[in-house]
Structures are given as C-alpha cells and as structure tokens.
C-alpha cells in the first residue's frame, strides 16, 4: 500500500477521473496521487488512456466524472491556472521548422512574456548543450536534438509540473539516455514529471510507475514493488526449438504470456500452479532447459496486459 502523502507535498491528486468519447470510456475511475519532485511513469498499450489522462491533468480536457487538483488547482474550475504552471511536451515536434534553435526559444520566451527573452533563450541553450546548434534550423535537427529543443521550450517558463507524452519515441538510445539525465536534473531541483513511455528501461528510471489498461490503473508503485507484489511466475527456457515452443504455448490455459528474452524464452502465468501444470509436458523436452526465474518488469507488465485483454482481473 502506498503511504499517505501530506497535502502540501502533492502535485497531482485526482479521484475517480472518467472521460468518455462517443459513449466509450477512454479513462475510467482513475485515482492517483503524485508527490512533488517525483518522476512518475505512465505505461500501457496504445489506447490505454495515457494521453487522455495527461490532457485532463493539464487542463486541455474536462473530465466527465471525478474530481481532482493539479498543483493545488481544481481541474474543472481552474484549468487556466494549471496551464500557466505546466509544461507539456508531446510526441510530435511542434516548434517551427523554419526558425533556428535560438529563434524558437526566443519566440516561446516572448509568448510567456519573460522579461529578457534573448537571455532566457541563451541560458536554456547553454543548459541543454545546444550552443553548437543555436543557429541551425529546427527542421534540420535530428530526432534527439529536436527532443532536447522541445524540452528547453517547455522549461523556459519555469513550470512546476512537466507532462511528457512519449517524448523519446523514435530517438536513439544515446539521446534517450541524455534526455533522462536532464529530466533527473530538473527533478532534483523540485520539478514534478509525469511521463508516458513504452520503454521498459525508461520505466526503470522513474521513481514510481502506473500501468494502465482499458483506461484504468492495474498496477502502481516503484518498479521493485510492482514486481514484488505480482503473483506472476516465470520460467526461462533456453536451448533449441524455442520458436515452435512459443507457438505451442501461446494458447495453452495457464500460460498468460510467452516472449523472447535475449537468447531465451520467458513463459509467464498469473497462477504458479496452473503454469506448472500447463508446462509440465514441455519441460521434459531434452533439447531445452527450463528454470524458474524472478520475473522482470517486462514479464510482469506483458502478463498483466495479456490478462487485461482477456478480461481478467
């Protein structure tokens, strides 16, 4: 169970948030508290409700049910105040392609009515290591540099909360690592960050995570807690014939997920006894070695997702 957080330490506090589109719940009965200065990860498949939740939190969408506050401001009645305190970075690069890095940052600084737009742009360029790109057109930047520029634009106004919607999709591993170093540096200064991601290594960089399926949170806590609280059992299988084995196990009752894991195969189930029984005929195969292992975060989330897709609790 997550420990109670003092009201003054809470950046996001929502209860029962629900959002419908054409009568279908994109987010349903979502309750969440996020502590100030926390990097909180949202995980889930496409259509799980991550983006809709983020847009409600920053005041772009009004909930159909539920209540809550972001940075102490009511989601329904003070959305305009939330927008002033939040930086929102989408997956799609939204700055001007035909302006340089410096020009884009100065333009954003003017929008926020900063006293010294040129000085604010220079400071952000220096902080994010963009000096040698300052006069380059934004449209000609690589994905990693565009991402860094977009982050700088979000941070110019000094937001207290940063919402990142799959910000590193399509970015190379080196650029993703550098991006996360910057995020942790900002969080160390007191910034609260909520980030949606599909990457397991990024989830492991968050202080806490929540996994969404069909618009509801189905797992929540630190990475270690999510793994430790799960009842998921996992076999690692090595040897020959792993691809045919995966196909054979895909629809076997008691097996909830089968996935390649390096040179081995991970076979997972929510019920250890059922998984043992389901795999017993295969564990005697002489060409393969089976061993029980601690599930990884990926094992846990894939199995949760498989259960959710089948309507399991």
Q: How confident is the model at residue 156 (pLDDT cuts 50, 70, 90)?
A: very high
Element (H, E) at 212: strand 208-213
Task: Tell whether the torsion through CA atoms of 152, 153, 154 and 157 is positive or negative.
Answer: positive
Q: How confident is the model at residue 1 (pLDDT cuts 50, 70, 90)?
A: very low
Given a contact cutoff of 8 angstroms between Cβ atoms, the answer to whether 89 and 163 are in contact is: yes
Distance separating alpha carbons of residues 30 and 36, to the nearest angstrom: 19
Distance separating alpha carbons of residues 219 and 280, to the nearest angstrom: 29
Is residue 257's pLDDT more than 50? yes
Q: What is the mean pLDDT of residues 91-113?
A: 93
**What does the pLDDT look like over 9-63, one tens digit per residue?**
899 999 999 999 998 999 999 999 999 999 999 998 888 899 999 999 998 999 9
Question: Own/partner pairs for 100-104, CB < 8 Å, 24+ apart?
Answer: 100/134, 100/135, 100/136, 100/137, 100/138, 101/125, 101/130, 101/133, 101/134, 101/135, 101/136, 101/138, 101/141, 101/149, 102/134, 102/135, 104/138, 104/149, 104/153
Tell me what pLDDT residue 286 has. 86
Residue ranges of the chain that CATH labels 3.30.70.920: 230-309
Q: What is the mean pLDDT of residues 220-244?
A: 92
CATH of range 230-309; options 3.40.50.300, 3.60.150.10, 1.20.1580.10, 3.30.70.920:
3.30.70.920
Is residue 6's pLDDT more than 70? no
Q: What is the pTM of this model?
A: 0.87
**What does the pLDDT look like over 284-313, one tens digit per residue?**
888 899 999 999 998 998 888 776 665 544
CATH of range 7-226; options 3.40.309.10, 3.40.50.300, 3.40.1350.10, 3.10.20.30:
3.40.50.300
Task: Tell whether the torsion through CA atoms of 183, 179, 68 and 111 is positive or negative.
Answer: positive
**What does the pLDDT look like over 237-248, one tens digit per residue?**
999 999 999 999
Average pLDDT, the chain: 90
Is residue 2's pLDDT more than 80? no
Number of Cβ within 10 Å of residue 287's Cβ equals 9
Residue ranges of the chain that CATH labels 3.40.50.300: 7-226
Tell me what pLDDT residue 3 has. 54
Q: How confident is the model at residue 175 (pLDDT cuts 50, 70, 90)?
A: confident
């Amino acid at each position: 169970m997550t420990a109670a957080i003092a009201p003054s330490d809470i950046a996001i506090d929502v209860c029962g948030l629900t959002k419908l589109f054409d009568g279908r719940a994109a987010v349903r009965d979502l309750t969440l508290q996020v502590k100030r200065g926390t990097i909180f990860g949202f995980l889930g498949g496409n259509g799980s409700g991550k983006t809709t939740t983020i847009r409600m939190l920053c005041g772009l969408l009004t909930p159909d049910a539920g209540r809550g506050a972001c940075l102490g401001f009511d989601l329904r009645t003070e959305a305009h105040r939330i927008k002033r305190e939040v930086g929102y970075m989408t997956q799609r690069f939204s700055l001007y392609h035909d302006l340089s890095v410096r020009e884009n940052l100065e333009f954003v600084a003017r929008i926020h009515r900063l006293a010294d737009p040129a000085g604010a742009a220079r400071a952000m360029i220096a902080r994010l290591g963009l000096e040698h790109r300052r006069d380059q057109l934004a449209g000609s930047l690589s994905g990693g540099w565009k991402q860094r520029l977009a982050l700088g634009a979000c941070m110019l106004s000094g937001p207290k909360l940063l919402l990142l919607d799959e910000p590193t999709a399509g970015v190379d591993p080196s650029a993703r690592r550098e991006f996360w170093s910057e995020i942790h540096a900002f969080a160390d200064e007191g910034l609260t960050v909520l980030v949606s991601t599909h990457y397991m290594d990024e989830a492991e960089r968050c202080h806490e995570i929540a996994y969404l399926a069909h618009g509801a949170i189905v797992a929540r806590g630190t990475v270690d807690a999510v793994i430790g609280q799960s009842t998921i059992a996992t076999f690692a299988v090595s040897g020959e014939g792993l691809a045919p084995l995966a196909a054979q196990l895909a629809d076997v009752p008691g097996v909830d997920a089968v996935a390649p894991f390096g040179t081995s195969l991970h076979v997972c189930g929510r019920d250890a006894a059922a998984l043992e029984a389901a795999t017993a005929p295969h564990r005697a195969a002489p060409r393969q070695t089976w061993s029980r292992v601690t599930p990884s975060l990926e094992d846990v989330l894939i199995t949760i997702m498989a259960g959710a897709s089948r309507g399991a609790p």
